[in-house]
Structure 1
């Protein structure tokens, strides 16, 4: 097992090209971090597609309700988990390349299970979407995710685990 600074707040996301290591910012957005760990530990993120991937912007995934149904992927991005929505945890942490942001509707308190990883610095999102993690290694695997809204053949999260459990 690799030596992670805080294994309880480190996510290991397995993609087709390799492992993406994400450091959760528990001190900044504790509710969002706890939700990600809960969904990872229950296996709900495993096999979920990246349903919205915009070159130069971000890759979005995490629709545990619709993101695994290959016959109905046009619904991906419209659902969440069966858990309640989360209150916004906006902070001064910028949406830099490799940061993890909570996807939501127009309502700031509507984040649930979906998230995105920024391909570039997207500072126009600052203080409007909760930042709760950052990629510490494997960003090249994120960069290789198939583009599209939705992609014709979407990539998926093969598995998502908390490093403390791996």
Structure 2
């Protein structure tokens, strides 16, 4: 995953923190490296991707989402043109109210700025132990089952995204259309490519070593200073689709 020695062991630790982020709730890098990412991942992600892609929400175009955090707004432009399934999943969850009352359970600024991560539906429940935060996914009330989405990354100038594979696995050397610039919004997942569900993260700095490995689907366009001030445990008071909801298509 790491193709240059420039970032060294610090990058390795940070990537590992994100890599296990969907399945661990601990805060230190050492404990996350030792954690097992098996609790919240689907048993067979390949067959799941093939069978559910047509049922997943799709964003045909762009939308704008506003998060309220600590009484201030974070405005995200969601890009369904480059990541239609990932963007559609996020907008659909916002519209359902899934993110209202969830917390940012992971904030990594040391040894260098990395990400703030939230969106775990489990974090709405104050009775859930802190160490379990980061293990949750969205459960579709219609099916009673967790909804996962395929890893979706579009190479620059390509007609279609690559699904269910990192660029390295697919043998792609081009940069993605959407990269991990500061303020990029992307989906957290475990080591299984198709294990993203509800948890997302916002990049606190340019993170090019994540490009081609995680699905970026949006960008903070207002309120990055609010993101910079987020602390672990801060609550997403509300999340609202303010523009582009008519671009969301659900079902078949």
Taking structure 1 as the reference length, what is the TM-score of the superposition?
A: 0.87
Residue 4 of structure 1 corresponds to none
1:81 to 138, 149, 161: 138
What is the CA RMSD across the aligned residues, in angstroms? 1.5
SS in 2 for 1:141: helix
Q: Which structure 1 segments of 5+ residues have no match?
A: 1-6
Residue 44, structure 1, aligned to residue 101, structure 2 = no
Please say if 1:68 is aligned against 2:153: no
Q: Does 1:31 align with 2:88?
A: no
* 2:221 is the counterpart of 1:136: yes
1:8/1:163 contact within 8 Å kept: no
Between 1 and 2, higher relative CO (CA 8 Å, sep ≥ 6) is seen in 1
Pairing of 1:11-30 with structure 2 (within 5 A): 11-30=65-84
CA-CA distance at 1:17 after TM superposition = 4.4
1:40 CA drift (Å): 0.9
| Matches of 1:28 and 1:59, distance apart in 2 | 23
Q: Indicate if the aligned counterparts of 1:28 and 1:89 stay in contact, CA closer than 8 A.
A: no
- What is the count of residue pairs matched by the alignment? 152
How far residue 44 of structure 1 moved from its aligned partner, in angstroms, is: 1.0
Partner Cα separation in structure 2 for residue 53 and residue 45 of structure 1: 17
Residue 124 in structure 1 maps to residue 209 in structure 2: yes
Post-superposition shift, 1:74?
A: 2.4
2:153 is equivalent to residue 90 of structure 1: yes
Cα displacement string for residues 13-58 of structure 1 (whole angstroms, at most 9, x for unaligned residues): 0010410000001111111111111111111100100011001000
Q: Which ranges of structure 2 fall in alignment gaps of 5 or more residues?
A: 1-60, 141-146, 155-175, 246-252
Partner of 1:58: 115
Deviation, 1:71, is 2.6
Report the structure number with the largest CA radius of gyration: 2
* Residues 95-153 of structure 1: per-residue CA shift (max 9 Å, x gap): 0100001100001111111000000011110000000000000000000001xxxx3xx
Secondary structure of 1:140's partner?
Answer: helix
